[in-house]
């Protein structure tokens, strides 16, 4: 996640109570309190969403990549689509 000072991943759903979940960091430490599952999916997707946006910005500077749809821009689109699917709860890893 470049120069962000965020809790390192991977982040996972930890404790579940009354239909709400907590997010844990890689060492099992809780990084959120109890939140709704839809919010949890979005939080879990945050590192991938950030990385996808970083890549999109990087490639946006290269008009040839953006104009002609090279492999690199297709790969970035796939990364972005996967991150969005995770944010919607369609992918849980």
Give a yes or no: residue 6 inside a domain: no
DSSP code at position 9: S
Question: What burial class does residue 48 get, using C-beta atoms within 10 Å of its C-beta: 0-12 exposed, 13-18 middle, 19+ buried?
Answer: buried
Give a yes or no: residue 46 inside a domain: yes
pLDDT computed for residue 1 by the predictor: 45
Give a three-class secondary structure readout of 32-58.
CCCECHHHHHHHHHHHHHHHHHHHHHH
With 80 as the cut, is the pLDDT of residue 22 above it?
yes
What domain range includes position 80? 12-87
- If one counts the domains in the chain, the total is 1
Give a yes or no: residue 1 inside a domain: no
Give a yes or no: residue 45 inside a domain: yes
- Check: pTM over 0.85? Answer yes or no: no
Rounded mean pLDDT, 79-86: 82
d(CA 23, CA 76): 27
């Amino acid at each position: 996640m470049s120069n962000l000072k965020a809790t390192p991943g991977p982040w996972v759903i930890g404790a579940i109570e009354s239909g709400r979940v907590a997010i844990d960091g890689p060492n099992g430490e809780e990084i959120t309190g109890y939140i709704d599952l839809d919010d949890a999916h979005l939080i879990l997707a945050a590192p991938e969403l950030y990385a996808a946006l970083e890549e999109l910005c990087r490639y946006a500077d290269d008009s040839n990549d953006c104009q002609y749809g090279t492999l690199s821009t297709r790969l970035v689109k796939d990364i972005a689509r996967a991150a969005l699917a995770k944010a919607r709860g369609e992918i849980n890893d």
